[in-house]
Chain A
Amino acid sequence: MRRREFLGLVSPSLLVMLGLLLFPLYKTVEWSLQRVDYGEPGTFLGLDNYTQALSDPRLGRAVLFTVGLTVAVVAVLLVGGYLLAVLVNGLGRSRPWVLGVLLVSYVVPNVVGATMFSWLFDSNFGGVVNYLITELTGAEILWFTEPWANRVMIGLNTVWFMLPFAMLVILAGLQGVPEEIVEAARIDGATGWRVHWHVIVPSIRGVLTFVSIISIMDVLRTFDQLVPLSPQAPQIGNESIMLYIYNIAFQDGGQQLGLGSAINVLLIVLIVLLLSPFIRDMAKEARQ
């Protein structure tokens, strides 16, 4: 392919991304160096916003919470997604139904799904999970104010709406595993989980990487679902980085667009750092 053809084909997409992603990104970096209000030109501050952001313990807590949630959720997604994909892969006629049902939580908007999810746990609104737990064990769990209970609920919700995607991609990957190598392993006497661990998992490594990348990106940006699920997130240390940005840059009373932008930039750095091993792999593979 000639360079001219390449440019001709790529340019519409490239223009859209430059205009609507790179330019906004540039604005964010610019704002991060300013004191600025919506709709007004800012004044240059230098790195003040960054020092202010980095000295705020609330940011530290937000990073800890977000990264912790990411690690936990991605681990569950990989294991759960794999197991579920294997189960679904073994299905016959019922497979379209099972897949259709499993995809429901993925296609519902996050904020709506999280609200439905919160109604299961909210005793004030007759939450059935709460009711059953109290009926069966007598315990009353404070899902919205107890930090760890709240974390568990947020984690469950995140897994709930991301698991279908992980399962789907892994399932697609399983279709590509040649039957011969599985049979060969069986003939060699491998059984049960050994076949999975030593044969199937390595052969779909690319797929698992893909799931990890997408999940890491998405959990690091956790925001929508916290609005219904954690009404006092800042108080109990369950504020995600995005929610923190929202609270200081957008929420009633906090209009610190410059500071919010600085944290946006820091979040981008964090994301790129966490993704860098995968990016290196991808670069290598894409070059081939």
Chain B
Amino acid sequence: MYAGRAATARGARPLVVALGLAVALLLAGCGAGSRTPAATATLVPCDFPPPPSSVDVNVLAYNSSAIDPFTNSMVRSCSRDGVTLHHEPVDYAGQSQKATATLAGRYGTYDILETYGFVVPQQASTGTLHPLDDLMARYGAQTGLDRLNPQMREALSYDGKLYGIPMQAQTFVMAYRRDVFDRLGLTPPRTFAELREVAGRIQRDGGIRYPLALPLLASSDVATAYDAALGSLGTDYVDRDTGRPNFDTPAAARAFTELRSLLPLMDPQVTTFAQPAVQQQMYNGSAAIAIMFSGRMLDLTRPANSRFAADFAFAPPPSVAGGNVLYNTLSVDGWAIPENTEVDKDLLFRLIAASVGEESSRAAVPAAFPAREGMVTPASSPFAAAQLEAIGRASPPEPFPWTSRISNDTRPVVADVLAGRTTIPDGQRRMQEIATAIVAGYRR
């Protein structure tokens, strides 16, 4: 055995050092959990009759500057009178995975769910979300929900029923470096052709090798990007009248060629970038133009995150071929109640109402674009004007249960085509097959 008392004493020293260091670091922040969102968020009115026994309410919502204000206000303001709200920090991928798990089957962990227009039809059509029309009729007027934007309510409805209470809308916004644009005498591009031109100029100028940054993560964002390009060309996934998928149309091919034409302007590893990675490119100054959801824009304007915070300017995203519809996605985010929750749904509805109420929504500006008229004005934030223009120029949503399934199932093909591993015609053919099968499953 490795013996000797001296050796033992010596061996213990590293432990003491390491533990001491750990303790010092922990103590550096003593007052554990003293500044959690539950302690610091904006207090808003949250009224409900106290439940007969204490209730725990679990809230699932990913963290981003635009979602956090709504979540945090609700958690802080409504945790009282025997009700305790719990919200654990989670990233977007984590939320998607947990939402699927909690909605499946008899058991669910979560009682309030952040959801968005794109997936509501699929979730609603499988009966996993609770319809909210009755609750809306009962409490809507007294909680001010009747003043929520009607189009946004529509976006969270399926088959004539309301399944989500909208909190905010997100659109694509283009962020660019005003200093770089000014130096080269450039103006924000309005079409993909101009985008190529502008980004090409920056690239040739040197300094910034890959001026353009889009989130094109192969396992997620790439599907949204393709959908946005297709939408800007005036084409839906599936024809609304005939129910025939559109992946074999010239527009479907054009969407690919246009997206591929941007690749030389982007980091070669762009298919591994989600929105946070794109934000990082902008923080670091390794890109000069980024297009992503408006909810990610406030982060860019924070000097703590980037030395270029003051240099960022914002514009609506360009359109692919010059039409009125931009390379854009309008996503309406809102709160839903899972059918399998065991908590009183009347209570849950009133918590949600507090989260999207007048005060809470006002406090969310400028990080978010709340679902209430007139909250955001061009003066609200550096990107508010761009956001206001972009919001009216997105392709109309496709509120069908097959939309998100087609998006999911064709995503690997889109990734392969963008990476050049599959030709465009081959990719179109496979996507058409996948989509036809999915739609047929619903029509039968």
Assess A/B contact in the complex (Cβ within 8 A).
yes
Q: Is the CB of A252 within 8 A of B14?
A: no
A97 CB–B CB distance under 8 Å: yes
Q: Measured between alpha carbons, how far is A37 from B104 in the docked complex, in Å?
A: 7
Q: Separation in Å of the A94 CB from the closest CB of chain B?
A: 10
In the bound complex, do residue B96 and residue A235 qualify as a contact, i.e. CB atoms below 8 Å apart?
no
A235 to B217 Cα, complex, angstroms: 11
- Chain B contacts for A39, CB-based, 8 A: 104-107
Min CB–CB distance A28 → chain B (angstroms): 17
Q: A148 at interface (Cβ–Cβ under 8 A)?
A: no
Given A231-B219, A231-B272, also A124-B286 (CB < 8 A): yes
Scoring B residues 240 to 270 as 1 if CB is less than 8 Å from chain A, else 0, what string do you get? 0000000000000000000000000001110
Instruction: Tell me if B40 is interfacial: C-beta within 8 Å of chain A.
Output: no
> What B residues does A40 contact at CB under 8 A?
104-105
Q: Which of A96, A234, A251, A253 contacts B14 (CB 8 A)?
A: A96
Contact of A145 with B272 at beta-carbon distance under 8 Å, contacts A232-B219, A235-B415, A253-B405 already known: yes
B137 at the interface (CB under 8 A from A): no
Which listed segment binds A: B165-173, B277-285, B321-329? B277-285
Q: Report how far A123 CA is from B273 CA in the complex, Å.
A: 12
Tell me if A144 and B14 are in contact (CB < 8 A): no
B105 & A235 in contact (Cβ 8 Å cutoff): no
Residues of B contacting A123 in the complex (Cβ-Cβ under 8 angstroms): 267, 269
Q: Give every chain A residue within 8 A of B269 (Cβ-Cβ).
A: 123-124, 142, 144-145
Taking a contact as CB atoms under 8 Å apart, the answer to whether B100 and A126 are in contact is no
A38 within 8 A of B: yes
Mask, B85-118, CB within 8 Å of A = 1, is 0000000010011001100111100000000000
Tell whether A255 pairs with B14 under 8 Å between CB atoms, given A124-B281, A126-B284, A231-B272: no
Residue of B nearest to A250 (CB): B97
Shortest B47–chain A CB gap in Å is 34
Is B271 an interface residue when CB atoms closer than 8 A count as contact? yes
Cβ-defined contact, A253 with B10, below 8 A: no
A193 contacts partner chain B, Cβ-Cβ < 8 Å = no
A12 CB-CB contact with B under 8 Å: no
Q: Does any Cβ of A come within 8 Å of B218's Cβ?
A: yes
B56 proximity list for chain A (CB < 8 A): none
Interface 0/1 of A29-61, CB less than 8 Å to B:
000000001111000000000000000000000
Q: Which of A38, A232, A252, A254 contacts B104 (CB 8 A)?
A: A38
Of the candidates B14, B280, B412, B419, which one forms a contact with A125 in the assembled complex, judged by CB atoms under 8 Å apart?
Answer: B280
Shortest Cβ distance from A93 into B: residue: B10
Residue A100, interface by CB 8 Å: yes
Q: A5 to B309, alpha carbons, bound, how many Å?
A: 73
Q: Could you tell me which residues of chain B, from 104 to 138, have a CB within 8 Å of some CB in chain A?
A: 104-107
Which A184-243 residues have a C-beta within 8 angstroms of B? 231-232, 234-235
A267 CB, nearest partner CB in chain B, Å: 21
Complex CA gap A124/B279 in Å reads 10
Say yes or no: is B311 at the interface (Cβ < 8 Å to chain A). no
Contact pick for B277, options A97, A124, A232, A253, CB 8 Å:
A124
With a cutoff of 8 Å between Cβ atoms, the chain B residues found around residue A253 in the complex are: 404-405, 408-409, 411
Q: Complex Cα distance A232/B273, Å?
A: 10
Q: How far is the CA of A153 from the CA of B96 in the complex (A)?
A: 28
Asked if residues B104 and A124 are in contact (CB atoms below 8 Å), the reply is no
Q: Looking at chain B's contact residues, is the secondary structure mostly helix, strand, loop, or mixed?
A: helix
For B405, the chain A residues whose CB sits under 8 A away are: 253
Would you call B272 and A144 a contact (CB within 8 A)?
yes
Min CB–CB distance A133 → chain B (angstroms): 15
B10 and A235 form a contact (CB under 8 A): no
* B97 CB contact (under 8 Å) in A100, A235, A252: A252
B421 adjacent to chain A (CB < 8 Å):
yes
Contact between chains at A124 and B219 (CB < 8 Å)? no
B31 contacts partner chain A, Cβ-Cβ < 8 Å: no
- Asked if B271 and A235 make an inter-chain contact with CB atoms under 8 angstroms apart, the answer reads yes
Q: Within 8 Å CB of B267, what residues of A? A: 123-124
Is B416 an interface residue when CB atoms closer than 8 A count as contact? yes
Q: Determine if B11 and A96 form an interchain contact, defined as CB atoms under 8 angstroms apart.
A: yes
Q: Among B10, B93, B104, B218, which residue has its beta carbon within 8 angstroms of that of A255?
A: B104
Given A124-B286, A253-B405, A253-B408; A38-B421 close (CB under 8 Å): no
Task: Give chain A nearest CB distance to B84 CB in angstroms.
Answer: 26
| Interface 1/0 per residue, B58-86 and A, CB below 8 Å | 00000000000000000000000000000
Contact across chains for B281 and A231 when beta carbons are under 8 A apart? no
Whether B97 contacts A97 by the Cβ 8 Å rule is: no
What is the bound-complex CA distance between A39 and B219, given in angstroms? 26
A124 and B271 in contact (CB under 8 A), knowing A38-B105, A235-B412? no
B100→A255 contact, CB < 8 A: yes
Cβ-defined partner of B412 (8 Å) among A37, A234, A255: A234
Measured between C-beta atoms, what is the minimum distance from B406 to chain A in Å? 10
Which of the listed residues A142, A235, A251 has the most CB atoms from chain B within 10 Å of its own CB? Answer: A235
Nearest-Cβ distance from residue B23 to partner chain A, whole angstroms: 18
In the docked arrangement, what's the CA distance between A254 and B273, Å? 21
Picked from A37, A235, A252, the residue with its CB within 8 Å of the CB of B419 is: A235
CB-contacts of A132-186 with B (<8 A): 142, 144-145
- Residue of chain B at shortest CB distance from A252: B96
Within 8 A of A (CB), among B320-344: none
Report A89-104 CB contacts with B as 1/0, cut-off 8 Å: 0000100110010000
A123 vs B409: C-alpha distance in the bound complex, in angstroms? Answer: 30
Establish whether residues A235 and B218, one from each chain, have CB atoms under 8 Å apart when the complex forms.
Answer: yes
Instruction: Output the least CB separation between A236 and chain B (Å).
Output: 9
Closest to A37 in B: B104
Q: Are B104 and A100 in contact (CB under 8 A)?
A: no
Contact B96 A97 (CB under 8 A): no
Contacting residues, chain A, for B14 (C-beta < 8 A): 96-97, 100
Within 8 Å CB of A97, what residues of B? 14
**Distance (whole angstroms) from the CB of B280 to the closest CB of chain A:** 6
Query: Taking the nearest CB of chain A, how far is it from the CB of B96, in angstroms?
Result: 4
A152 to chain B, nearest CB (A): 15
Q: Which residues of B contact A144 (CB under 8 A)?
A: 269, 272
Question: 30 A–B contact pairs at CB < 8 A?
Answer: A38-B105, A39-B104, A39-B107, A40-B104, A96-B7, A96-B11, A100-B14, A124-B267, A124-B277, A124-B281, A124-B286, A142-B269, A144-B269, A145-B268, A145-B271, A231-B218, A231-B272, A232-B218, A232-B219, A232-B272, A234-B219, A235-B218, A250-B97, A251-B97, A252-B97, A252-B100, A252-B408, A253-B405, A253-B411, A255-B104
Instruction: Please provide the 7 A-B residue pairs with the shortest distance between their CB atoms, ordered closest to farther.
Output: A39-B105, A253-B408, A38-B104, A232-B218, A252-B96, A231-B272, A144-B272
Q: A145-B269, A253-B408 are in contact. List 4 more A-B contacts (CB 8 A).
A: A124-B269, A124-B286, A232-B271, A253-B409
